[in-house]
Structure 1
Amino acid sequence: MQDFAMKYWRDQGTPVEKLRMGFATYGRTFRLASGDSGVGAPTSGPASAGPFTREAGFWSYYEICTFLQGATVKWIDDQKVPYATKGQDWVGFDNKESFTNKVNYLKENKFGGAFIWALDLDDFAGQFCGQGNYPLIGHLRSLLDTEFLPPNTTNVPYETTKTASTAQSTRPHVVPTAPSGAEFCKGRPEGIYANPADPMTFIQCANGRTFVQRCPTGTVFNPNCLCCDWPKN
C-alpha cells in the first residue's frame, strides 16, 4: 500500500525528493478464526490489546518481541515483511530485514527520506528484544547514514490517546535520574500507574522494575486515559 502511494504521488508530478517513506515500529494483529494461519487466513477480529499500548489489533515492536518467543515466524515474499503466529494470534510487523528492503527501495527511487511512527513504539530501553536501545530506529539510521539520532532518553511509554493530526505530541518525557520508590512495581502487573506523590509524573512498571516519568510542561497525568492531559479548570 505504501509502495502504491509513493508511486502515485511521484507519477502525479510530486518531486521525489519531497516524498518520505514511512517506517513502522508497530504491528497489526488479528485473531485467527480457523486452523489456517497463512496470509489471507480468515479472522474473527483483532487480537487482544498489548499490556502497554492497550489497543486491540495494535502492538508495539517491544510487545511483538515478547510475543515472538515461542511463535512461528514466516516471510511474505511479495511484500518483503515478516508475520508471526502463536495459537490463534497473528501479527504482521517490520523487522531489521524488512527495514533494509524498504531503504533499498527508497534509495533506488531517490525518495527524500524516511519518517517513523513512532519513537516510543520501538524497544526504546532495550528491555524486551535483546537488540539494544531503539533496535529498529538505530538500524534505520545506519542504513540511511544520516546524522539523525533517537532522543537521549531511556523510557518513553506509549500514550493511549493518539491524535495524529496535532502538531505537538503530549507523549511524556522521561525523568533522567533514577526514580525513588523503586519497590513500587514489585508484585504489580506491567502497565502505567498514577503517581500519588506527584500528578505531573506517572509510573511505568515493566518486568518488575519501576520507572518514574514526567509529563510535558503544563500537563498532568490523567488516570482515566492513562495519558498526560491538560489540567481541568
Structure 2
Amino acid sequence: MSSLVKILALIAAAAFVAQAEAATDKIVCYFGSWSTYRNGNGKFSVENINPHLCTHLIYTFVGINGDGSINILDRWNEIDLGAMRRFNDLKKQNPKLKTLIAIGGWNEGSLIFTKVVSNDRLMENFANSALLFMQEHGFDGFDLDWEYPARRGGAATDKVNFSKMLKLFRKKFDETGKKYLLTAAVAGTGTAADLSYEVPALNEYLDFVNLMAYDFHGSYDGVTGQNAPLYPSNVDLSLEAKERCVQASVEAWLARGLSPEKLVLGMGVYGRTFTLSNQANNRVGAPVSNAGHQGPYTMEAGMMGYNEICEKILQGGWTEVWDEKQQVPYMYKGDQWVGYDNPKSIHIKVDYAKSLGLGGLMIWSVETDDFKGICGSKNPIQKEINSALDKSIPEEPEVPSTTQTPKPEPQPTQPPTTGTKCSQEGYMRDPTNCAVFYYCKKNGSYFIQSEFKCAGNLVFDLDKLVCNYPSLVNC
C-alpha cells in the first residue's frame, strides 16, 4: 500500500470515528414511579428528577387491559396526586426534554399482550388508546416494554404480531402530524432476540430501541456473576455463557439488522447480590447458597440500588475489587457478594457505545442513583454519562423537604346518609383493610370522604401519611 493510500485510509477512519462519536447523544432515563413509597433516604418523588441530566425520560409503568385499553396501575399516585402531570411539567424546566410513558414491565408478562396483538380489532383499540393516552396526559412518546413476545406466557405468533403492531402504531402516530416517539425496551442476548423479534421491523418502525443489557447473572445461576459485564469472564467458557455480556449483546443486535444509531445501550443503576456458600471463596464464579440480603430501600433480595451499594461502602468493612477482565467492579463482606456498575465502569460503557456510533445510553433507573448525594455528588451515575458525552452538567434542582402526601381535592357530593368512615378532618385508615384509606374534608355539618387504595402489597402508614411496606407499619 502506498503512503498516500495509507494516509487517505487513516483520514477516512478518523472521520468515521468522529462521526460515530457525534452520533451518540441520547440519554434515556427510566423512572420507577413506585419509588415514591420507599422509606428514608430511598423515597424518591418526581421532584427528585434532574430534568437536565437526560434527553428522554420514561415513566413506568401502565398496564394493558384485555380490550386493548390502557390500565393505570396506581391511580391515586398517577392521577389524584398528579405524578404524571408533575412528570411532564419537568419539560418546563428543560424545553428540550422528551417524555414517554412505558407500558408493561416484568410483572405484566405476556398473556394480555398476546391476546391483544392476536386480534386485529383489539390491536386497533390498543393503538388508539396509546395515542389518546399520550395526548391526554402530555407525553411525547410511547415505550413498549413487553417482557417478552413469545415468552413468559406468550405464543409463537407473538414475534410476527409484534412487528404488525409496530407498523400499526407507527401509522397511527404519523397520521397525527405530530412527531410522537415510538420506542421499545428489548431483551439483551441474541438468543432472546431470535425468539421474540423480527429485528428489521424494529429498525423500520421504532425511533430507537432500548437494549436491556443487564441482568445477565443472578443468584439463580448458583454462582456469583456480574450483573452487566462489558466482556465475558474467565469462567464463561460455553457459547451460552459468553453471550451474557454487553459486548456480545450489542454485536448480536447489530448483526441481526438493527442500525447502530437506533440502538440505545442500557445500563443498570443497581447490582445483583449473592450469599456465598463459602466466605473464603469470593471470586467471580464462586458457589452461592442464595440471593444476597435485600437493601434497606428497594427491599428485594438479590439486588441493591447503587445508592444502597455506595452507602454500604461508606459504612465500611467491604472489600472492593475491580474486575479487569469484565471492566466492572464487585465487592464482598462476610458471606455477601455484590456485582454492580459504578461511575468508572459506566464511563467505559459510554466510550464503548461512542466507538460503535450507537444512538445513546439508557439507564434503569434514576431513583437508584445516589440522588441525595449521601456518598458524594448527587446523581453520580447520570453525571458520569453526561461527562463522558461532553455535555454540560447543570445544578441540581431544589427538592421540597416535606415527605407528607399532598392532599387531594375531593369533589363535592351530597351529604352521606350511611357508611362514612370520617370522624375528623384529614387522613383515616380503614378499620378492616390497612391498604384502604380516606381523606376527610369537613363540609358544614358533614364530611366529604375520598377513598384511596395503596398500590400492590403496600399499606397506609398513619405516621408518615404515605403508602408503605407492611413490615414497617403497625397495622
- TM-score where L is the length of structure 2: 0.33
1:44 is matched by which residue type in structure 2?
Answer: S
1:119 to 353, 360, 366: 366
Q: Distance in 1 between matches of 2:387 and 2:453?
A: 36
Which residue of structure 2 lines up, in the alignment, with residue 84 of structure 1? 331
| Equivalent residue, structure 1, for 2:66 | none
Identity rate, percent: 36
Residue correspondence of structure 1 range 103-114 to structure 2 within 5 A: 103-114=350-361
Question: Match for 1:225 among 435, 452, 458?
Answer: 458
Alignment of 1:93-104 (within 5 A): 93-104=340-351
Q: Matched residues in 1 for 2:296 and 2:395: separation?
A: 24
**Structure (1 or 2) with the greater helix fraction:** 2
Structure 2 counterpart of 1:74, from 299, 321, 326: 321
SS at match of 1:17: helix
- In 1, distance between residues paired with 2:256 and 2:317? 45
Q: Is the contact between residue 219 and residue 228 of structure 1 (CA under 8 Å) also seen in structure 2?
A: no
Q: CA deviation at 1:198?
A: 4.9
Tell me by how many angstroms 1:132 deviates: 1.5
1:144 is displaced (CA, Å) by 1.7
The answer to whether the aligner puts 1:56 opposite 2:301 as a matched pair is yes
Q: Which amino acid aligns with 2:338?
A: V
The Cα shift of 1:221 comes to 4.1
Instruction: Provide structure 1 residue ranges, at least 5 long, that are not aligned to the other structure.
Output: 155-175, 181-196, 200-217
Greater strand fraction, Structure 1 or Structure 2: 1
In structure 2, what is the equivalent of residue 142 of structure 1?
Answer: 387
Residue identity opposite 2:344 in structure 1: E
Determine if the alignment matches structure 1 residue 16 to structure 2 residue 257.
Answer: no
**In structure 2, do the counterparts of structure 1 residues 137 and 150 end up closer, same or farther at CA, with 3 Å as the change threshold?**
farther
Q: How does 1:168-207 map to 2 (within 5 A)?
A: 176-179=400-403, 198=427
Assess, with a 3 A threshold, how the Cα gap between structure 1 residues 110 and 55 changes in structure 2: closer, same or farther.
Answer: same
Q: For 2:452 and 2:249, how far apart are their aligned partners in 1?
A: 37
**Aligned residue for 2:251?**
7
Aligned to 1:32: 276
Counterpart amino acid of residue 99 in structure 1: I
Aligned-pair Cα RMSD in Å: 2.8
SS at match of 1:139: helix
What's the counterpart of residue 142 of structure 2? Answer: none
Q: In the TM superposition, what is the alpha-carbon distance from 1:222 to its structure 2 partner? A: 4.4
For the 8 Å contact 1:18–1:112, the answer to whether it is kept is yes
Distance 1:150 1:8 in 2: 38
Deviation at 1:96, TM superposition (A): 1.1
Given the superposition, is the C-alpha separation of residues 53 and 61 from structure 1 closer, same or farther in structure 2, using an over 3 Å criterion? same
Given that residues 137 and 150 in structure 1 are in contact (C-alpha distance below 8 angstroms), is that contact kept between their aligned partners in structure 2?
no
SS at match of 1:28: strand
Question: Equivalent of 1:132, from 377, 381, 385?
Answer: 377
Equivalenced residue count is: 172
- Going from structure 1 to structure 2, the CA distance change for 1:149 and 1:58 (only over 3 Å counts) comes to farther
**Residue identity in the other structure for 2:369:** D
Aligned AA (1:87): G
C-alpha change, 1:93 and 1:149, in structure 2 (3 Å) is: farther
8 Å CA contact 1:30, 1:43 repeated in 2: yes
Please give the alpha-carbon distance, in whole angstroms, between the structure 1 residues aligned to 2:393 and 2:259.
Answer: 23
- Decide whether the 8 Å contact of 2:276 with 2:287 is kept in 1: yes
Q: Could you tell me which runs of 5 or more consecutive residues in structure 2 were left unpaired when the two chains were aligned.
A: 1-244, 405-425, 429-450, 460-465, 469-475
1:44 aligned onto 2:277: no
